[in-house]
Amino acid sequence: MKFHYPNGKKFVQPAVKSSKKDKANNQVVYSNRGMTLEEDLNETNEYYLHKGMAVIYKKPTPVQIVKVDYPRRSAAVIKEAYFKQASTTDYNGVYKGAYIDFEAKETQNATSFPLKNFHEHQISHMKQVVNHGGISFVILRFSSTDEIFYLKSEHLSFFWERMKNGGRKSISKAEIEEFGFSIPIGLHPRIDYLSIVDNHYNFDY
Amino acid sequence: MKFHYPNGKKFVQPAVKSSKKDKANNQVVYSNRGMTLEEDLNETNEYYLHKGMAVIYKKPTPVQIVKVDYPRRSAAVIKEAYFKQASTTDYNGVYKGAYIDFEAKETQNATSFPLKNFHEHQISHMKQVVNHGGISFVILRFSSTDEIFYLKSEHLSFFWERMKNGGRKSISKAEIEEFGFSIPIGLHPRIDYLSIVDNHYNFDY
């Protein structure tokens, strides 16, 4: 997509870089726009849907409903409910005939990604998805530099097991750079994770 | 699975039949057990998961959260929330590498299935799933006879369009019997819908 800003400058898709560099170079800055990772992914999934590329949604937040009022002539009101821990991942759907399943998390940590962002249920869910031929991964955002990585769930499982065997409770950023893939950040779509899927899976579809 | 009841009679998997007939024949009756369709499907999905056959879950009920209290030393309490209309279907997951997506509804009507059980969003979602190579269907239960049918979303779309073009607002039971497939009802799994998927799709997986 090519378009011009009102200032007459041609729009150029910026490479993935840290916000510091962006500021230094006075380029278009997508970082720190006050958007959460969830909002960016919802926008990305809407883009994919409207372009006819994929059908991927975030699942609703799981809630345990305890008390509901049914006032006359108006909608039911939930008066007491609690957040439940999800037993699966947040996002799933279909892309080129394949089942896509992922979780997205962010950290303010600059040098490593804490594994406490995940829980055992999710790790075993992701393993099951892979066993059944699905494509499973996590999207990890380092919010201090606005860098976003794609890590296959097989690698996440490896680091999870290392922790359970007494190893470190996080994945170092160097490890994420080695085993994961940097996701291009843009305007539309904001977080183009399917470009990574395309490069790493064969579709006969 | 073969086992004997305490009365020494051999267990025989009953064919799908109406509860009236079951009662008349004095056979094992699974109908009217006080289980909802949702409970039966959750049990079925757990069975599939534990047998390593498929990874399919019901999505959480979508809720718009308005007010949350954070009491000291205890869990956050949602004090005001509203039910939202789902934009997709209730169930999805992966089976033999394929994306599975379905909605389940029941009616007390004996001779037809009212289309008001669905809404436009869901119909268009199901179309998109099919366009992307997913397997999409609805599970329809006639609660008065405890008969359960599998209807491909392509057929549901056809009847939906007929309604929008001024035709009847329901699918007659005869049509469901003609275009759909009767789902075997059992003990484990209760609603073996994947047996229908197996018979109607080719998996190279």
Q: Tell me the pLDDT of chain B (205 aa) as tens digits.
A: 334 444 444 444 444 444 444 444 444 444 445 679 999 999 999 999 999 999 999 999 999 999 999 988 888 999 999 999 888 999 999 999 999 999 999 999 999 999 999 999 999 999 999 999 999 999 999 999 999 999 999 999 999 999 999 999 999 999 999 999 999 899 999 999 999 999 988 776 5
Indicate the pLDDT class of residue A204, thresholds 50, 70 and 90: low
Query: What does the DSSP assignment read for A140-188?
Result: EEETTTTEEEEEEHHHHHHHHHHHHTT--SEEEHHHHHHHSEEPPB-SS
- Put simply, whether A123 touches B (Cβ < 8 Å) is no
Considering only CA atoms, give the Rg of chain A: 19
Determine the pLDDT at residue B205: 56
**ipTM exceeding 0.90, yes/no:** no
Measured CA to CA, the distance from residue B163 to residue A126 in angstroms comes to 41
Best residue in B78, B102, B202 to probe A by mutation, most A CBs within 10 Å? Answer: B78
pLDDT digits (tens, 9 = 90+) for A31-52: 445 679 999 999 999 999 999 9
Coil/strand/helix, residue B85: coil
> Would you call A79 exposed, middle or buried from its count of C-beta atoms within 10 A (0-12, 13-18, 19+)?
middle
- Put simply, whether B61 touches A (Cβ < 8 Å) is yes
- The string over B189-198, giving b where at least 16 C-beta atoms fall within 10 Å of a residue's C-beta and e elsewhere, is bbbbbbebbe
Q: Give B 31-60 residues with CB within 8 A of chain A.
A: 49, 52, 54-55, 57, 59-60
Quick one: tokens of B2? 């073969």
Question: What percentage of chain A reaches a pLDDT higher than 70?
Answer: 82
Measured CA to CA, the distance from residue A130 to residue A108 in angstroms comes to 29
Instruction: Give me the residue from A52, A60, A81 closest to B78, CB to CB.
Output: A81
For residues A199-205, give the mean pLDDT. 76
pLDDT digits (tens, 9 = 90+) for A84-120: 988 899 999 999 999 999 999 999 999 999 999 999 9
Closest residue in A to B85 (Cα–Cα) = A60
Q: Do B59 and A54 touch (CB under 8 A)?
A: no
Indicate the pLDDT class of residue A11, thresholds 50, 70 and 90: very low
Q: Do B61 and A60 touch (CB under 8 A)?
A: yes
Size of interface A-B (CB pairs under 8 A): 114
Determine the pLDDT at residue A73: 82
pLDDT digits (tens, 9 = 90+) for A138-152: 999 999 999 999 999
- The string over B55-84, giving b where at least 16 C-beta atoms fall within 10 Å of a residue's C-beta and e elsewhere, is bbbbbbebbebeeeeeeeeeeebbbbbeee
Please, are residues A77 and B75 in contact by the beta-carbon 8 Å criterion?
Answer: no
Omega before A189 within 30 of 0, i.e. cis: yes
Please, are residues A116 and A150 in contact by the beta-carbon 8 Å criterion?
Answer: no
Judging contacts by C-beta atoms under 8 Å, the chain A residues touching residue B62 are: 60
Binding residues of B for Mg(2+): 88, 90, 103, 122
Please, are residues B81 and A78 in contact by the beta-carbon 8 Å criterion?
Answer: yes
How is chain A split into domains, by residue range?
19-200
In the CATH scheme, what architecture does the domain B19-200 have? 3-Layer(aba) Sandwich (3.40)
> Which DSSP letter does residue B4 get?
B
